Structure 1
Amino acid sequence: METIFVKPKDFDRKWYIVDAEGKTLGRIASEVAFVLRGKNKPYYTPHQECGDYVVIVNAEKVVVSGDKLSAKKYYRHSGYPGGLTTTPLKDMLAKKPTFPLERAIRGMLPKNRLGRKLFKNLKVYAGPNHPHTAQQPLPLEI
C-alpha cells in the first residue's frame, strides 16, 4: 500500500449547499465535517486540505431532540474569578442562530492549523439567502 499524494492544483473542489430546516443538529454537523475534511473522495489524505466548500442555509431552523433546548449549555469565561457565563441552546439560537451549528462542526474537525483552514471553507447563514450563487453549489443530501 502506498499513500497517494495529490497536488493541491489537482484537487477537484466543489461547492455544496445544505438546507438545515427540520434536520438534527448533530447529524448535519457530522456529515458536513466529513465533506469539509474530504473523506468522501478517493484521494483523501489526512494531512492535506482536499475537502469541499459547504454552504448551510436556514441554520436557525435546526432541530434538537429531547430537552436539549433548555438542558444543553454553552460556556464562556471572562478570565476573571467567577466570570463563567452559561447560555442555554434556546437563548443562543435566538441571539446567534449560526453559532450552535458552527460550534458543532468545529468540534468535529482537527484541532490544529489544518482544522482552522478547513473551517474557513464552511459558510453558515441563518436564513434561506446566501451570496454564493455564482459558485452554483450542488445540493448535499443528509
Structure 2
Amino acid sequence: MLQFKKSFNLKKETVDRKWYLINAEGKTLGRLATAVAKILRGKNKPTFTPNVDGGDFVVIVNSDKVVVTGNKAQSKEYHRYSGFPGGLKSTTLAKQMQKDSRKVILAAVGGMLPKSRLANKQLTKCKVFKGAEHEHLAQQPVQLEI
C-alpha cells in the first residue's frame, strides 16, 4: 500500500520571527541586498512558503559605509516621476548616498524581492540606520556576518 506524505504549509499564526543585526561597513551593496532579501522572505528557513510572510526582521547599521564596485557611483541613476510633463527627476548613486544612504539600501533590497503586496509588507521588516546606533536593542537582535 502506498503512503503519501503531506506537504507542509506555513500558517501566519505559527511564524517564529527573529531579529538579525547586520553591519554594512565595507560590504558590497548588491551582495548585502541579496542576503537581506533572502532573510526577509524566509528562504533561509526550512519552513519557507512563497505565499506566507515567514521571514525575519533585519536591522542594518552603518549604511553610509556600504561599498559599490566599478564606476557605479557615477553611472547608476535613480529616477522618480511626478506624473506631470517634464516631471522626471534623476540623481546619481553618489549624490543619493550623500543625501540619504538608507534609501539606496532599501531600493536595492526592494529590487531583489518579487513585485507583490506581500513583498511590500516584507520590506517593512527591514530597518536601516546611518550610524552604528539603532533603536531596536530591546528586541536583542543576533549579529549576522555576511
Which TM class, normalised by the smaller chain length?
Answer: over 0.9
Q: CA RMSD in A?
A: 1.1
Q: Distance in 1 between matches of 2:6 and 2:42?
A: 18
Alpha-carbon distance, 1:109 to partner:
1.2
Identity of aligned residues (%): 51
> Residue 71 of structure 1 aligns with which residue?
75
Q: For residues 82-127 of structure 1, give each alpha carbon's deviation from its aligned partner in whole angstroms, at most 9, with x where no partner exists.
A: 2211100010001111011000101111211101110111101111
Name the aligned partner's letter for residue 29 of structure 2. Answer: L
Q: For residues 13-42 of structure 1, give each alpha carbon's deviation from its aligned partner in whole angstroms, at most 9, with x where no partner exists.
A: 100000001100000000000000000111
Which ranges in structure 2 are unaligned for 5 or more consecutive residues?
A: none
Alpha-carbon distance, 1:3 to partner:
3.1
Alpha-carbon distance, 1:2 to partner:
4.3
> Residue 139 of structure 1 aligns with which residue?
143
Name the aligned partner's letter for residue 78 of structure 1. Answer: S
SS of residue matched to 1:86: strand
Q: Structure 1 residue aligned with 2:97, among 93, 97, 101?
A: 93
TM-score normalised over the length of structure 1: 0.95
Structure 1 segments (4+ residues) deviating >4 Å:
none
TM-score normalised over the length of structure 2: 0.93
Counterpart contact for 2:18–2:57, Cα < 8 Å? yes
Q: Distance in 1 between matches of 2:53 and 2:98?
A: 33
Q: Structure 2 residue aligned with 1:15, among 13, 19, 22?
A: 19
Which ranges in structure 1 are unaligned for 5 or more consecutive residues?
A: none
Pair member with larger Rg: 2
Q: Is structure 2 residue 145 aligned with structure 1 residue 118? A: no
Q: Distance in 2 between matches of 1:2 and 1:119?
A: 31
Q: Distance in 2 between matches of 1:8 and 1:84?
A: 40
Name the aligned partner's letter for residue 64 of structure 1. Answer: V
> Residue 28 of structure 2 aligns with which residue?
24
Q: How many residues are aligned here? A: 142
Counterpart contact for 2:11–2:52, Cα < 8 Å? no
